[in-house]
Amino acid sequence: MEKIVIKGNRPLSGEIEISGAKNAVLPLMAVSLLTNKKLLLKNVPDLADIKTLSGVLQGHGTQINKINEKEYGFDLELTTPEITSTTASYELVRTMRASVLVLGPLLARTGKAKVSLPGGCAIGARPVDLHIKAMRALGANVKISQGYIIATAPNGLKGGQYTFPAVSVGATENAIMASVLADGTTTLKNCAKEPEINDLIKCLVAMGAKISGVGTSVLKIKGVTSLDGNTHTVIADRIEAGSFACIAGIMKTEITLKNIEPDILQHPISVLKDIGIKTTINQDSISFKGQEINPVDIETAPYPLFPTDLQAQFMALLCASNGTSEIDEQVFENRFMHIPELTRLGANITLKNDKAVITGVDNLQGAPVMATDLRASMSLVIAGLFAKDTTTINRIYHLDRGYAGLEHKLSKIGADIKRIK
């Protein structure tokens, strides 16, 4: 198994190009199931999750071509002339939960779908009950049998009303993709408002979908009979950007992030400012300059509040602050597995009433650590860059799911980071 070895405490500075957003590309790829026309996605990051979803889509009949390959990504041509299978197997879905995003599109285009339940994952139970309830609200019959969601709508989906009892990114995306081809108008309330959802809607509207309320929690979708093809440029990855901002902060240096619209990073930027990181916003780049690191309290919540996907990285940054911070993880019930690993590097973190209490230390010391999930892995990279001596991160396949060209991007700004077998 591959490992990442970081010799920490080196001077870093420079520019980093931000890749396209993983969490935007995955639902956009599933859009291909809704049309027989070509969908060209530009600015796709070179990530393991893209490969995994490509495998799932190919199983349903999608033809996929990688074109214009660049250093950390490519453009992806997807065409699904017809759906050749409506089953997404356990073997494929269990490796990546986002595969459940094929449920809505398969049901919308063919009136049936058999999709494996994804099961729990390291950060929590992560049920898909809201995805299923939204499909039922559109007239689908859904039963669970032998670990599979079996959904049918023999006469097609019908426009309906559904109020999500809790905010879910994936369930909102599935419900949107199911509604665009439904017969009649659908109203979805208490929808997630993440920028990646807006990106999905932008692409669907360009293909002929009728969706109003974009950027709000109430979406109205008037079903159409078919969708056109489209060429769509994927938005930048705000989580990748926020992760590099934490590196600027902890290393007390200046890093400029290119190819990122500052708007989608508003809340994390306000927290970075509270921490004391100087932020300069330009048209499509942002510079972060780390200085003194002040403690802050953070609570994760759906967009536009603080993203759970940056919680671990900010915790690593706060390990080097000049006081005591608290982090309250409100989105996932088990997303603190990086705490024992950060503690191995010398961090002072305790748990009080389910909140993490982080007291800053002057130094961290390198050690072997284990990546437990995607964002937790990045917190170990951030801590490893700051730590004295060598940090070896095991199980880095997690990182390859979400950070395109990580070692190259960091080497270019001066980091001593290597991947070894």
List, by residue number, the catalytic residues: 121
Binding string, residues 156-185; x marks residues near ligand UD1 by CB under 6 A = ----------x-xxxx--------------
Stretch that binds ligand UD1, among 122-130, 141-149, 210-218, 266-274 (CB under 6 A): 122-130
List 40, 128, 142, 298, residue binding ligand UD1 (CB under 6 A): 128
Q: Shortest approach of ligand UD1 to residue 181 CB, angstroms? A: 21
Q: Does 144 bind ligand UD1 (CB under 6 A)?
A: no
Stretch that binds ligand UD1, among 31-39, 305-313, 318-326, 349-357 (CB under 6 A): 305-313
135 neighbors 177 (Cβ within 8 angstroms) = no
Q: Does 81 bind ligand UD1 (CB under 6 A)?
A: no
Q: Shortest approach of ligand UD1 to residue 41 CB, angstroms? A: 15
302 neighbors 331 (Cβ within 8 angstroms) = yes
Q: Does 355 bind ligand UD1 (CB under 6 A)?
A: no
- Count of residues that interact with ligand UD1, criterion CB under 6 A: 22
338 neighbors 372 (Cβ within 8 angstroms) = yes
Q: Which is nearer to ligand UD1, 236 or 293 (CB)?
A: 236
Q: Does 126 bind ligand UD1 (CB under 6 A)?
A: yes
List 11, 14, 120, 124, residue binding ligand UD1 (CB under 6 A): 124
Q: Which is nearer to ligand UD1, 172 or 253 (CB)?
A: 172
Stretch that binds ligand UD1, among 129-137, 153-161, 255-263, 356-364 (CB under 6 A): 129-137
Q: Shortest approach of ligand UD1 to residue 333 CB, angstroms? A: 7
List 55, 61, 127, 414, residue binding ligand UD1 (CB under 6 A): 127
Q: Does 396 bind ligand UD1 (CB under 6 A)?
A: no
Q: Which is nearer to ligand UD1, 386 or 403 (CB)?
A: 403
Q: Tokens representing 308? A: 């759970």
Q: Does 28 bind ligand UD1 (CB under 6 A)?
A: no
Binding string, residues 217-256; x marks residues near ligand UD1 by CB under 6 A = ----------------------------------------
Q: Which is nearer to ligand UD1, 60 or 401 (CB)?
A: 401
Which residues of this chain interact with ligand UD1, rule CB under 6 A? 23, 26, 97-98, 124, 126-131, 166, 168-171, 192, 307-309, 331-332
